[in-house]
Amino acid sequence: MTQAQAQTQAVAPSATRLYRGVIADGVFKVMLGAAFIGGAARLGDLLGVSAWLMIASGVALLIGGGIEIRYVRSRAMGTYMRLMVAYDSGWVLTALVGVLIAWRSGTAGGEVWIGYQTAAPLALAALLIAGMPVRPTHV
């Protein structure tokens, strides 16, 4: 192995680590969805959101996380990375908007954030399902 190959291998994350990261992200969404469903009334009260929206968000997270895990080996890792960066950027942005609304004594901050948690996982799932499958490599 040349020095350049060794440096590239040390810097670039292995495909196995990337797959594990995507699976961990999907598992997190599934667990968050289960928590939203299980604690819909209590969490809804804390966030100022109705229980039905918490349940809808939980179901969306279960679907999105499940699809993310299901398609991990059949979609390009670049596609996953772009979608995950977009998803997480939206997550942070809506959390900041929610905090800003609450800070200004508004009551819709929780609805903004939970609304995102309802729509974004379904959009992520749809994009993964519609994405081009990775061609299998024949060795």
d(CA 86, CA 91): 9
pTM: 0.83
SS3 string, 65-100, reads HHHHHHCCCCECHHHHHHHHHHHHHHHHHHHHHHHH
For residue 133, the cross-strand partners are 75
| Half-sphere exposure (Cβ direction) of 21: Cα atoms closer than 13 Å | 12
pLDDT of 139: 47
**Cα of 80 vs its chain's centroid, Å:** 10
For residue 9, the model assigns a pLDDT of 55
pLDDT along the chain (139 residues), means of 10: 55 75 94 97 93 97 95 86 93 94 90 95 93 64
Q: What is the pLDDT of residue 136?
A: 56
pLDDT of residue 133: 79
Tokens of 13: 């994350």
pLDDT of residue 75: 85
